[in-house]
Amino acid sequence: KGAVIRLNNKMLFGEGQAEIKPEAQKTLNDIQKVLTKIDNPVIIEGHTDSTPIKNAKYPSNWELSTARATNIISYMMRNSNISAKRLCAVGYGEYMPVADNTLISGRMLNRRVDIIVLDNKQ
């Protein structure tokens, strides 16, 4: 499929939030520098754990994960010259876990953003 850059949500966002933390911007800027040097399509995937969200702004983890992925793309569009045609945002909510959601350590791993650089060029 491609190369995966996995970022922990704790570094990127506050709990139940989709606004990018200021301290995460350096990491995103470093990733953008690499992405501007290649032409491959990029998928930004937002993921959560299975804990129901308790936030009026996001009625489910699905909306939260989608908002996080979309905000990463918006940030990249504002701060680099990456073509919008290369970017795609996807929110999976709790439905694509990489670890056991019954464990605290598993939930921490499931709360993530994956930046996938696809093998095929446009």
Q: What is the pLDDT of residues 15-74, one digit of tens each?
A: 999 999 999 999 999 999 999 999 999 999 999 999 999 889 999 999 999 999 999 999
pLDDT attached to residue 121: 65
Query: How many Å apart are CA 19 and CA 76, to the nearest integer?
Result: 13
Name the average pLDDT for the chain: 95
Instruction: Answer yes or no: are the C-beta atoms of 58 and 76 closer than 8 Å.
Output: no
Q: How many beta carbons lie within 10 A of that of residue 18, not counting itself?
A: 23
